[in-house]
Amino acid sequence: MASTVMTKSFRSPPIFYGWWMVLVTAIALTSGPILVTGTFGIFIKPLAETFGWSRSAISLGFSIVAGFASLAAPIVGLFADRFGPRKVVLCAALLFGSGFLSFLSLSASIWHFYGLSLFTALGGIGLTTIPYATAISRWFVRQRGLALGFMGVGVFVGGMFAPPLVTYVIAHWGWRWAYATLGLLVWSIILPVVGLFLVESPQQLGLRPDGDTEDAESPVAFTHHGTSSRDSTFAEARRTLPFWLMAVSFSLLSATIHGCITHLAPLLTDQGLSTQQAAAALMLFSAMGAVGRVTTGYLLDRLPPRLVATSYFLAVVLGLLAALGSSDERLALLFAAMLGIGFGAESDLMPYLTARYFGLKAFGEIYGWIFGAFAFGAVFGPFLMGWVFDTTGSYQLALLILIPATTLGAGLMLPLGERQPIVAVS
């Protein structure tokens, strides 16, 4: 498979070629930013024990990463539109892997920790779903929701194997080599898979989206498949109500999910659960995230997106309520499962709704801004959890703050229209 342009005589295989691209992007996403999100909490206690740092100080490292992602995401989207997703991913993978390996030299200065975290984020932001969703959205229209859902399963596969792997390496060789292991994973998976197999659009192989024939009519004008009647520029998109509803809603839910997942391991072990039980909860988070992505994608192709979004967001509220009694292992697992469901749904909803309301002309840039809002929420959630713990000795108050915030995020999905054209706000 090559990414060079081929003639239109290319014969379509029995399985539409776009599904192979879904597989390629899913494999690559196993070694993306989920390696940070899914394992950050596991490093909190070892770092605190080694250097005497507080949990809020360590959590600020994640907030710095998320803050950088919030600012850089629109640029990544713009680059994906202009230079192609493949180039963006390959450059980012080199930096991301180097960032993890740089933790081998981490000193006792918390500022050194922040600097290395920022360097790692420089590569990680290019490995989010932004470039991958840009490619997959070009390959699919009618089954875009399902395709994006299966693509995102890779995120949670990575989230399933990364926590036990990191826990094992820390136990046997220490946390420094755990960081190095993550860096080597990035290089060994993303560089060959994307470099050799990613094709950025069906036109490069003489094909059409969904495998349609040359004279097939593409769905337009907010059809059942959710494509805008015309493509919007970012300048046009930012003047619409759906853009701001999505940005605020995803930011609120991101604060909740990232705050909880980065502190999930210490939260559960503080409640009396073992390290192995906490690692199992992290694995369950990732497994249910995969379920959330696929089921969300399936439902988005069939039901009103606002109702799908609201339902999954409220599942996170249920998880937060369960977290208030997470000393019970069953409630702890329910907490992790609902977080995973919500994270999976959110990651699918963002690119789907972006394509639905604004089309594909400036998809990368517009999605980059919405993803930036998502990352902006991740700035505050982890720091809030750490600050509340350092102040009160418990995470309970933080959970009580996040419950109404998440409920508000769910409610903001409801005003989104069904399939009506978007209207600019004055």
Note the pLDDT tens digit of each residue in 273-317.
Answer: 777 777 788 778 878 887 888 888 888 878 888 888 898 889 999
Tell me whether residue 216 is in a domain.
no
**Mean pLDDT computed over 221-248:** 72
Band of pLDDT at residue 110, cut at 50, 70 and 90: very high
The answer to whether the beta carbons of residues 338 and 290 sit under 8 Å apart is no
Q: Which two tokens stand for residue 191?
A: 């560089």
Note the pLDDT tens digit of each residue in 22-59.
Answer: 999 999 999 988 888 778 888 988 999 999 998 888 88
Instruction: Determine the Cα–Cα distance for residues 315 and 197; give it in Å rounded to an integer.
Output: 37
Euclidean distance between the first and the last CA atom of the chain, given in angstroms as a whole number: 48
pTM surpassing 0.85? no
In sequence order, what are the beta bridge partners of 424? Answer: 240
Note the pLDDT tens digit of each residue in 315-368.
Answer: 999 988 888 876 677 887 888 889 888 888 887 788 888 888 888 788 888 888
Q: Determine the pLDDT at residue 11.
A: 53
Supply the range of the domain harboring residue 301.
17-209+223-411
Band of pLDDT at residue 109, cut at 50, 70 and 90: very high
> Over 70: is that where the pLDDT of 419 sits?
no
Task: Read off the CATH number of the domain in which 373 is found.
Answer: 1.20.1250.20
Domain count within the chain:
1
Tell me whether residue 424 is in a domain.
no
In sequence order, what are the beta bridge partners of 240? Answer: 424
Interhelix angle for 363-392 vs 396-411, to 10°? 150
For residue 111, which phi and psi values (nearest 5 degrees)? Answer: -70, -30
Tell me whether residue 355 is in a domain.
yes
> Over 80: is that where the pLDDT of 424 sits?
no
Instruction: Determine the Cα–Cα distance for residues 321 and 396; give it in Å rounded to an integer.
Output: 10
Cβ count within 10 A of residue 392: 11
Q: Is 303 helix (H, G, I), strand (E, B) or coil?
A: coil
For residue 31, which phi and psi values (nearest 5 degrees)? Answer: -120, 35
Identity at 262, one-letter amino acid code? T
What is the helix (H) or strand (E) element at residue 352, kind and residue range? helix 329-358
Tell me whether residue 255 is in a domain.
yes
Question: Using CB atoms within 10 A of its CB, is residue 51 exposed (0-12), middle (13-18) or buried (19+)?
Answer: middle
Q: Determine the pLDDT at residue 173.
A: 93
Tell me whether residue 3 is in a domain.
no
Tell me whether residue 7 is in a domain.
no
Q: Determine the pLDDT at residue 417.
A: 65
